[in-house]
Every structure is written in structure tokens, then in C-alpha cells.
Structure 1
Amino acid sequence: MKVLITGANGLLGQYAVKQLADAGHCVMATGRGGCRLPRNGISFGYTDLDITGKEGVLSYVTTVRPDVIIHAAAMAQPDACELSKEACYDTNVNATRYFTDAAEAVNAKMIYISTDFIFSGNDGPYRETDDPMPVNYYGETKLAGEQIVRQSRINWAIARTVLVYGNILSGTRSNIVTWVKENLEKGNPIKVVSDQIRTPTYVEDLARGIQLIIEKNATGVYHISGREILTPYEMAVQVADYFGLSKALMEKVDASVFTQPAQRPLKTGFIIDKAERELGYSPLSFMQGIRKMFP
């Protein structure tokens, strides 16, 4: 199957390219700027594409004519979204509309990658059927993207995920595991939130979940995350324990300690029964994910 992956230079994108290419799919990757994906014998095509250009997106998609578009590209830093709303809207909403229209033009399936931040965080963990109520602009734009996909006439699926972690590849940002490990190894004291809950997601599990959606031709909304409900502080404790690092450097705090432009939902995380039942999705535990990152 011919699969187009947007945002391929990001953490998920890099793993999804490898996962799907290894599974025998013909993979085409797009990103901003040059290709930062490690080749390592993986066969894929790469194109530098401005996803906020309507004509460029349509021209590219109608030229390569994919069977499936995995739209993973997004402006995903909540604070940056809050401070640069126009750029956030252009990237998260307009670009989603352009790819949805292009998918319709070539009769491609669209898999839209979304987030737990579409929810309020008042009563998580959440099921696919729970009502969204974002508390920041990032969540608002991702929900708007979902609505564009849902209202289209294409074959679509939405894969929502939570706090993705994994080995940092070229050019990708740090995540909860690498941030804790690097700071504690350097002897830096860190403040870690204990009043938020999440179901952290190992990046290879997320890539596998997307593969299952493709290969089972599944449609609708799926929550693809880890199974364990943990606070960031509990995650940090597991990281410190695994590497034998000092937990004395970790200060347990609540979210009110941090002054950030974007509000964070307190209690999200996902109930993943539907993905387990319909897709055969089976994620690693958080500790298993750490072990796979650093065997």
C-alpha cells in the first residue's frame, strides 16, 4: 500500500516511516526542510513540503496519489500555540483542511493524529465517546482538525494519543524519559508535577497502532496510548530507579508552581479498550518502554 506520512521528521513520523516501510508498504515522507530520518537500509521517499500552502499540498498529493495519508504534522507545543495563534491555526487547522481536500481528490484514506489535549482534564481518563472540551488553544486547533476530518466525505480514522516518549532521533525534542535522565545524570534538581495524570505512550506502540488501523482498514476514533495511569512524578521515579539515579534531586510539585502561557488539562489519559478489542493493540508498560529505549 502507498502511504504518505506528514511530519516525518518528528518523533512519531520517524518511527512510523520505519514501521510501515519494514512492513512492506511504499512510504512517502514529507517534512519541513531537509530529511532528518535515518536511512539504516529503510526504503522511503522524502519531500520538503510546506503544509500550509494549499496549492502545493494539492499538487503534491495528486502527483504521488497515496492510498493512505497519515497526517502527523502539527504545531504541538501548547505554549507556542498560545503565543502564536495565527501560525498554530495555519498549521493545525488549515493544513488539515488542505490534506483532507487532497485526500478526497485522490480517494485516499486519512488517518489524523490527535491528542488528549482536546479534553478538559476534569474527569479523565477518557473514552473515545467522551465529550471534548479543550482548555488551551493547541487543544482547540486539534479538535477543529478532527471536526474537518469527521465532516469530510473521505474514508477516515482519528488516532488520539497521550504524552509520547521514545529514543530521540535526529532533530526531535526531548520527552519525559530523556528529560529526567539527562537532568539527573548532570546532577540538576528538577521539579516534577504530581497532580496531573496521563497514560504515557511508547512511540513504537503508537506507530504499531497506526499500522493496525491501516491494515485492518479501521475507521472512526481510536485512543492509542499506554495502559498505565501515571503522574509525571511517578514516571520520573521509574526513570530514576531504572538508571540508579538520585531521587533526592526530584521535587514533587503541583501544576500551580509553573507559570505557563497555556493551561494544561490535569487528568487526561485514555481508556484503550476499543483499540485492544478492535485492532488487537497491546502496548508496553512504561517500564518496558524505558527498557526498550535503553536495554
Structure 2
Amino acid sequence: MKTVLVTGSNGLLGQKITEKILREGGVNLIATSKGLNRYPVKDGYVYMDMDILDPIKVRNVIERYKPDSIIHTAALTNVDACEHQKEEAYQLNVTSVETLLLLAEEYNIQLVHLSTDFIFDGEHGPYDELAAPNPLSYYGQTKLKAEEILKNSKAKWAVLRTIIVYGIIKDLSRSNIVLWAKDALEKGNPINVVNDQWRMPTLAEDLADICFLAIEYDAQGVFNASGKDMMSISELVAKVADFWQLDKNLINEVSGETLNQAAKRPARTGFILDKSMTELNYQPHSFEEGLAIVDQQMKNAEGQ
């Protein structure tokens, strides 16, 4: 039975990975995050308080548990925050990868790393794994730098690039575009939504699945790991409104430029998923199927 260590286990993807392992078994999970464990179920795995920026603590945990694979989900993913907090962004998105890579090389550990569509400029999407990157934001620059460090290492590594991850965790403490839009429209609040940016939103469960497929197939190299449906952000929010039968008149379509965001966003990203589907048997849900899964989870949470 493989031992898998997950960084950032308190985040949306981290919790979905924990959920998957507890449901399916077959893996010894070492869940790590900074501070207390926020996942409601505490049995069936090991949790360690581990600051990814403390290399001594990271080494101690990895030497103690000797994982076969590390799934590195911890990162600073707020794109605008990365523009304002560049040192923190670099440490979380680049330095942490260097720390893990040293240990992965030393102990022959597979490192599965999460990356992003924001390494691209959005001029020629959707992209395959060999497309030339050109990040427009500091967030994108840090994630690309991490990829380059991995590619130049001697470790076994796999990069999973994803796009707009959505889903819910048990205490509903983490928001994302789907939950934000649903909440605002339910409250009757008008919202500004960009109509000139296109993405392929990713259900958190699908991303957790491909993390394990990467381990199961001992994957090496870059793999695209998004949802399969391309849509503009305004279309995405309209689909949320349709699914929950909310008032689409509250959606005000605007261009990205009018929002005056600190970080520049790529216009059209999206991924070609053929490699992941063929080599890893990745089978993402449609966006509507993803919304139905989220809806059922919300109903289950309310019923508990």
C-alpha cells in the first residue's frame, strides 16, 4: 500500500483528496497543512501540522513517514494578492517546490505538483501540454518558475495544470466562483461578471481523481487537468443561475478592463485534454454534472 503525503490538506482540493482516500481506501494518507486539521473526520489517516515554508519541519515529516508520493496542493492562488505580496507568493509557489524537490530526489519520491492555465497569455487557447507559456501575472510567473525547476530536477515529477477549481467543503468556509455567484444571486445582489475571458472550470473531485491517477500510473511530465467544457465567465455564471433557477437579470456583463484588477488575466485559456484522457484515463464531468454534484453535497450538508 502506497503512502501519500498531501500538502495544503485544509484547502478545497486537499479536503477532496482526504475524502476520496477515506471513501476508497488503498492508500496511507499523511495530510499536512499549517495549523489545526479542518477536515471534520479525524480517523483513518495521519494529520501533521506542517508549515511548507519551514524546511526543517518538512524534512522531519517526510523522513518520518517516507511517502511514495507527495501531492503538492499548497500555494498562494489569489491572483491579485500575488501582485501585492510578491515575496510571500514566491515563497509559497516556488521556494516550497524547491524544498520538496530536494527531499523527493533524496528519497526517490514522486512529486505531483498543481499548476495553472495562468502560465499562458490567453492568445491561443485552448492549449496542449507543449504550448509555449507566457504568463501575464506574477502568480503565473511563480507557477511557471516552479514548473521549470521541476523539469530541471532529477526527481520523479508530474505537473497537473488546472483551471478555476470549484466545489464545496464540509464547513462551507472556502468560496469560489460558483459559490460566490450562487450566493450573490440568491441574496438578490447584482453582480458584475466579465464576458471577455474564457475558461474550462474544474470540479474539485475531478482534480482529486487525476491526482490519484497520476500516482496510480506513476505519471511523469506535464498533464492538463481541467473540466472539459469551454465557456466565458459570464456564461459560467449564467449556467449557475439556470441550474439553481436564479435571476439572470442580476448579472451585469462587463469587460475585464473595467474591473481594474491588480493582475492581468489571460483572455482565452482552456486545455486540450487528450493526453490526460489517453494516458491517465482521466474522465472529467461536464459543468452541469459538476453543479449537480455540488448541489447534492449542499443538500447532504444541510441534512446532517
Q: What TM-score range do you get, normalising by the shorter chain?
A: over 0.9
How big is the shift at 1:168? 3.5
Q: Secondary structure at the match of 1:28?
A: strand
Q: 1:24 aligns with which of 23, 26, 32?
A: 26
* Aligned residue in 2 for 1:195: 196
* Aligned residue in 2 for 1:184: 185
Instruction: Count the aligned residue pairs.
Output: 294
Amino acid at match of 1:34: L
Larger deviation: 4-13 or 144-153?
144-153
Larger deviation: 55-64 or 118-127?
55-64
* Aligned residue in 2 for 1:281: 282
TM-score when normalising by structure 2: 0.94
Question: How far apart, CA to CA, are the structure 2 residues paired with 1:276 and 1:42?
Answer: 33
Aligned 8 A contact 1:3 1:70 in 2: yes
Query: Which portions of structure 1, spanning 4 or more consecutive aligned residues, are displaced by more than 2 angstroms?
Result: 20-23, 168-173
Q: Secondary structure at the match of 2:70?
A: strand
Note if 1:248 corresponds to 2:260: no
Note if 1:38 corresponds to 2:25: no
Note the 1:22-171 alignment, pairs <5 A: 22-39=24-41, 43-170=44-171
Query: Which string of whole-angstrom CA distances, capped at 9 and with x for unpartnered residues, describes residues 80-123 of structure 1?
Result: 11101111111111111001111112111100111111111111
* Aligned residue in 2 for 1:225: 226
Question: How far apart, CA to CA, are the structure 2 residues paired with 1:229 and 1:91?
Answer: 29
Identity %: 44
Question: How far apart, CA to CA, are the structure 1 residues paired with 2:199 and 2:111?
Answer: 26
Aligned 8 A contact 2:168 2:294 in 1: yes
Unaligned runs of 5+ in 1: none
* Aligned residue in 1 for 2:12: 11
TM-score when normalising by structure 1: 0.97
Unaligned runs of 5+ in 2: 297-304
Aligned 8 A contact 2:168 2:174 in 1: no
Note if 1:238 corresponds to 2:239: yes
Question: How far apart, CA to CA, are the structure 2 residues paired with 1:23 and 1:273?
Answer: 28
Query: Which string of whole-angstrom CA distances, capped at 9 and with x for unpartnered residues, describes residues 27-62 of structure 1?
Result: 0011111100121x7611111111112222122211
Note if 1:269 corresponds to 2:278: no
* Aligned residue in 2 for 1:175: 176
Question: How far apart, CA to CA, are the structure 2 residues paired with 1:23 and 1:113?
Answer: 22
Aligned 8 A contact 1:5 1:71 in 2: yes
Question: How far apart, CA to CA, are the structure 2 residues paired with 1:231 and 1:17?
Answer: 31
Question: How far apart, CA to CA, are the structure 1 residues paired with 2:173 and 2:119?
Answer: 23
Q: Secondary structure at the match of 2:83?
A: helix
Question: How far apart, CA to CA, are the structure 2 residues paired with 1:33 and 1:13?
Answer: 14
